[in-house]
Every structure is written in structure tokens, then in C-alpha cells.
Amino acid sequence: MNQEKKNKNKNLILITGGHATPAIACIDELRLRGYENLIYIGQKKSLLFDKNPSSEFRLITEQVQIPFKSIIAGKVSLFPNFHSLIWFLRLPIGFIQALFWILFYKPKLILTFGSHVGVPVVFWGWVFRIPIIAHEQTTTIGRSNKFIQKFARKVCLSWLEMMHDGEKFVLTGNPVRKEILNSPQADFDFSDKSKKLLLITGGNQGSHAINEFIFGYLPKLILKYNVLHQTGSNTLFNDYAKARELEEKINKSSKCYLAKDYIFSEEMSVALNNASIIISRAGANSVTEFLVLKKKALFIPIATSSGNEQFLNARLLEKLRLAKSINQADLPIINLIELLESIESLEPDFDEIEKISELHKNAQKKIIDIVEEVLKR
């Protein structure tokens, strides 16, 4: 057994991409199978001009604790402005840095979880004939992932709707964090336990638009709900600081509002399992976890997401009568309380939800089966 583990760790596996949640599930599965020689290439700062580290950097270094090597990845945007120019100018830097790390580590396999971060790593992996396995979380393929898939030996897909003909494509599902499946019994220390828990999250980085909207609605929300609000840690808007000020003011009489800049996996597991309803962006990983946990949600998709992917992600749960979605531009004119009540009254198609959920619960095992199959060749 020791010799087998030693042989496995001769194979350095390089993991990259901008979606840390499924990556972590696969890293956990790799470790269960004896693989410890792992490295992650990502972005330490995912938002331009933000002083705080990205969520993927915090997750990989603080929770997973494998080496994290940062690159300054660029991308091409269809929305011309100052920020898109900066992203474009970063492209050659990311390619040079990715080349350095590929030459330095000489990985036996690259496992990528998409986005522009993985593009330069995958390109150089292909140049040096390193096997590449790609995982696609969303219901539509963005420009970066279309590029990546051209060079991948295997492409793991999350949704039946995305299946293509050909041996390259495999339906695996989208990995979910093992913590959320453990149904933790812990709860948050709110004064009135009879109130339902409303979880608000703008994704790992937070959403300024959602935060601003929620700040204005808090006096009404706390009458009915205990509110757990993940603001993100963006230093450009300082929403977390504003949320903490509101928290201090609101909780003087009764603790019913809790603000967090970031919620790590174990605490997020508690939040997701205890929440009665969730207000969220419609990223593929959030949609998958809400589906598996059968959580009702109000989605506010990012309008500029590549290929309109967040609207399509949200549509998956709308068809199952588990969620509703609204345009961000409509936030000023909606009645949030009435909308949340209408979502609570939805009657989901639980048989179909359970059937689809099974695909995702074992996704990381299917993906790592493919990794081992490719390594043996």
C-alpha cells in the first residue's frame, strides 16, 4: 500500500480554473485515493483594484491547504470600457506566468474547472503534451471554456442538456461540497428561533447591487425573517463595513440580522441546511447545491454573464418549481416581501429534483475515475 501511494505521488496533478467549489470536492476525492502531490493555479485577486484576496485563494490556502500559485490572468470582454481594457492587457502576463509554472512543476495531468484563469495553463499544457481534463459547471459554454475544450482529452459535463456526441464528452454532474450533505444540526444565535432563516449571498465575491437593495429592505425583512447576509469583502464599496454598522444598530433590541463578509464551507453548510429561502446570484455551483438540498430561492442573475449562463442556470430550478428569478434592473420596482411569499408557496417537483440530484452527489468520484484512467495510459 505504501508503494502504491508513493507511485501515485510521483504524478503531480495541477488543478486550475476560477470555480473553487467543484475543485475542492475533487481535491478531497483525490486525497481519499492517496494523491497528495497537488498544486492549484488561480488568481489571488479576482476583482480589479480590490485589495482583498479572492475567495478561491482563501479556500485553497486556508481550507484545503495545498500550494497556491497565482497568475495575473486576462480575458477578452464584449463590454468595452476601462476595466475590459485592463483585463485585455493582462493576457500576455498570464501566459508568461503560466508557462513558468508549467516548466517548473512539469505536471503529469491538468484538471481545469474553467474560466479565463485556466486558459493560459491549458494552452501550455497542450503545447507540452500534458493530458488535460476539463469540467464544465454551467448549462452553456462561455468563450474561455470553448477554447479549453479544444485542447482537453476529456470534458466532464454537469447537465444532461449539455451532452455532445463523441468520446471526449462525459456526463459526470457538478460536484457539491461534502459538508453540505451532512445535514449539520448547528444553528445561528438569533434571538427568535421561531422566525425562518433568510440567507442572502451574492456569490463568493458578493454583489454590491444586491447588498444595496437588501440594506434598504432590512427593516421589513427582519419583521418576518432572521437574516444572514454574506456581503463579500470588496474594498471598492465597503459593503461589509456598512452591513456591520446596520447589524449593530438592528441587534440592540433583538438579534435578527447577521452580516458576514465571507462564509467558509462548514458555516455555509449550516446556513444552507437551515435556510428556508435564499436570495442569490445564479452561479452553477449555487444552483447545484440549492437543487441537491431542495432549497427555494430567488435568483438575481448577473446580466453580463458569458452566454447569459446565469439566466439559463436559474431556469433549471424554475422549471422544477423550486425558484423564481428577476432581472437586476427590476430591483427598484419589485415588492420583495410579496415575491418571497410567492416563492415560499411554490410546490416543487420533488421526484424530478431527487432524480437530478443523484447525478451531482457522486460527481467528484466520476471525475476522478476519469483522472485515474488517463494517468494509467
Do 151 and 253 have their domain in common?
no
pLDDT at 202 over 80: yes
**Residues 42 and 17 sit within 8 Å (Cβ to Cβ):** yes
> Model confidence over 269-305: pLDDT tens digits?
999 999 999 999 999 999 999 999 999 999 999 887 6
**Residues 151 and 126 sit within 8 Å (Cβ to Cβ):** yes
In the numeric block, the cell 504524478 is attached to: 11
Is 149 within the bounds of a domain? Answer: yes
Cα separations (Å) of 197 from 26, 225, 339? 30, 6, 16
pLDDT at 1 over 60: no
- The rounded distance, in Å, linking the Cα atoms of 316 and 159 is 10
Helix (H) or strand (E) holding 225: strand 225-230
Is 220 within the bounds of a domain? Answer: yes
Do 186 and 127 have their domain in common?
no
Do 55 and 199 have their domain in common?
no
Is 194 within the bounds of a domain? Answer: yes
Helix H, strand E, coil C: the string for 127-177 is: HCCCCEEEEECCCCCCHHHHHHHHHCCEEEECCHHHCCCCCCEEECCCCCC
98-102, 155-159, 161-165, 333-337: segment of lowest average pLDDT: 161-165
Helix (H) or strand (E) holding 15: strand 13-16
Q: Which residues partner with 228 through β-bridges?
A: 199, 258
Among candidate residues 114, 145, 171, the one where a domain is terminated: 171
Closest to 204 in 3D by CA, of 13, 23, 73: 23
Among candidate residues 121, 154, 171, the one where a domain is terminated: 171
Q: Which residues partner with 320 through β-bridges?
A: none
Is 126 within the bounds of a domain? Answer: yes
- The number of domains in the chain is 2
* Cα torsion angle, 321, 323, 328, 333, sign: positive
Phi-psi region of 183 (alpha: psi -120 to 50; beta: other; left: phi over 0): left
Residue 228: the pLDDT is 97
* Percent of residues in the chain assigned helix, strand, coil, to nearest 5: 50, 15, 35
Task: Indicate the pLDDT class of residue 90, thresholds 50, 70 and 90.
Answer: confident
pLDDT at 88 over 80: no
The range of the structural domain enclosing residue 223 comes to: 180-358
Global model pTM greater than 0.95? no
- The rounded distance, in Å, linking the Cα atoms of 293 and 273 is 7
Do 192 and 147 have their domain in common?
no
Is 364 within the bounds of a domain? Answer: no
> Model confidence over 129-144: pLDDT tens digits?
999 999 999 888 878 8
**Residues 74 and 94 sit within 8 Å (Cβ to Cβ):** yes
Is 374 within the bounds of a domain? Answer: no
Is 74 within the bounds of a domain? Answer: yes
86-100, 144-158, 239-253, 309-323: segment of lowest average pLDDT: 86-100
Do 11 and 130 have their domain in common?
yes
In the numeric block, the cell 420596482 is attached to: 333
CB-side exposure of 30: number of CA atoms within 13 Å? 27
Cα separations (Å) of 264 from 50, 258, 309, 363? 20, 15, 25, 21
Do 118 and 49 have their domain in common?
yes
Do 121 and 153 have their domain in common?
yes
| CATH code (residue 204) | 3.40.50.2000
Do 193 and 167 have their domain in common?
no
Do 188 and 330 have their domain in common?
yes
Is 366 within the bounds of a domain? Answer: no
Residue 99: the pLDDT is 97
Do 205 and 343 have their domain in common?
yes
CA angle in degrees (0–180, nearest 5) for 357-299-199 = 85
Do 22 and 124 have their domain in common?
yes
- The rounded distance, in Å, linking the Cα atoms of 240 and 262 is 9
CA angle in degrees (0–180, nearest 5) for 200-206-210 = 55
Q: How many CB atoms lie within 10 A of CB 371?
A: 22
CA angle in degrees (0–180, nearest 5) for 169-356-145 = 35
Among candidate residues 171, 194, 229, the one where a domain is terminated: 171
**Residues 279 and 200 sit within 8 Å (Cβ to Cβ):** yes
Do 161 and 243 have their domain in common?
no
Task: Indicate the pLDDT class of residue 236, thresholds 50, 70 and 90.
Answer: confident
Residue 306: the pLDDT is 64
Helix H, strand E, coil C: the string for 89-141 is: HCHHHHHHHHHHHHHHHCCCEEEECCCCCHHHHHHHHHHCCCCEEEEECCCCC
Task: Indicate the pLDDT class of residue 13, thresholds 50, 70 and 90.
Answer: very high
